[in-house]
Amino acid sequence: ARFNSLPEKDRNDRQLVDAMRHYDHTVNVRWVMAHYHAAGKYLNQGEDEPESTGGSDWRKYMHPKYQKRIFFPDLWSEEELENWGINNLSDLKNQQTSK
């Protein structure tokens, strides 16, 4: 990844790393979960099992824990990657409020 080709000084810049993690999490977890909940609201309006476009299992297809779309995997711990989209929402929020 391009991040790894940056000078060490930049790779260790806490503000840059935090900004990249925030961007990664916002786009790949928070935005996706907002879309997921909006889809659920509209797809769960009847008594029948909701079907998405193309008949896919939209819950599994859309959820970040299954997608695992991560822009900067080198900036996350193994535990954070393993639990992507599950509990790192609260972890990142706690990091941001403790500053």
pTM of the entire structure?
Answer: 0.72
Residue 5 above 70 pLDDT?
yes
Distance CA 20, CA 25 (A): 9
59: which residues sit within 8 A by CB, 6+ positions away?
Answer: 36, 40
What is the reported pLDDT for 10? 96
| pLDDT score at 37 | 84
Provide the domain limits for residue 61: 2-97
Q: Residue 86 in contact with residue 33, Cβ under 8 Å?
A: no
Say if residue 12's pLDDT is above 60. Answer: yes
Q: What's the mean pLDDT in 35-47?
A: 78
Q: How many separate domains does the chain show?
A: 1
Q: What is the pLDDT of residue 17?
A: 96
